């Protein structure tokens, strides 16, 4: 997708710190980390947000969660815990309109979120 920053990161035309990649997903370090571990799990397919998902994407979303669990174990934050956040549209604060899942860990996180 033209003018999509995450499509450009996936293609490699914009640099990012990749920490994981498979055929369907990349995980990168967030450029403005909000926790000691702040990764973005990004499906390679250009999906805008949760409202743009179709039944064909069901397995992909499940895979995102399994990759997150695997990264949590790899980083030793599985026992203490982690948070996965997907912001959709303005009230949630979505700023990049290519679906991504924030992986946050390494500090206590408040509930409810701000
Ligand atoms: P959203 O607000 O859409 O849920 O999250 C977008 C996230 O992407 C933000 O946490 C922001 O810091 C991150 N981000 C925006 N541009 C870039 C970039 O060029 N590189 C990386 N690594 N992260 C980015
Ligand atoms: Zn995109």
Full domain range(s) for residue 90: 5-105
How do residues 85-109 score in pLDDT, each as one tens digit? 999 999 999 999 999 999 999 999 9
Is there a domain that residue 110 lies in?
Answer: no
Domain annotation covers residue 26: yes
State the pTM of this model. Answer: 0.98
Q: Please work out whether the CB of residue 27 comes within 6 Å of at least one atom of ligand 1.
A: no
CB-ligand 1 contact for 94 (6 Å cutoff): yes
Which residue(s) pair with 28 in the sheet?
A: 18, 40
Q: How many domains does the chain have?
A: 1
For residue range 43-87, what is the model confidence (pLDDT) as tens digits?
A: 999 999 999 999 999 999 999 999 999 999 999 999 999 999 999
Q: What CATH code is carried by the domain that includes residue 35?
A: 3.30.428.10
Q: In angstroms, what is the span from residue 102 Cα to ligand 1's centroid?
A: 9
User: Ligand 1 centroid to 80 CA: how many Å?
Assistant: 25
Ligand 1 pocket check for 96: Cβ under 6 Å: yes
């Amino acid at each position: 997708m033209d003018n999509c920053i995450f499509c450009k990161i996936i293609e490699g035309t914009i640099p990012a710190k990749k920490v994981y990649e498979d055929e369907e997903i990349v995980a990168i370090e967030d450029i403005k980390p909000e926790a000691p571990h702040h990764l973005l799990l990004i499906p390679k397919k250009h999906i805008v947000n949760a409202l743009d998902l179709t039944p064909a994407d069901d397995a992909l979303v499940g895979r995102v969660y399994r990759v997150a669990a695997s990264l949590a174990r790899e980083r030793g934050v599985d026992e203490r815990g982690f948070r996965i956040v997907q912001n959709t549209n303005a009230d949630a604060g979505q700023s990049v309109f290519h679906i991504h899942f924030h992986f946050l860990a390494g500090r206590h996180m408040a509930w409810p979120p701000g």
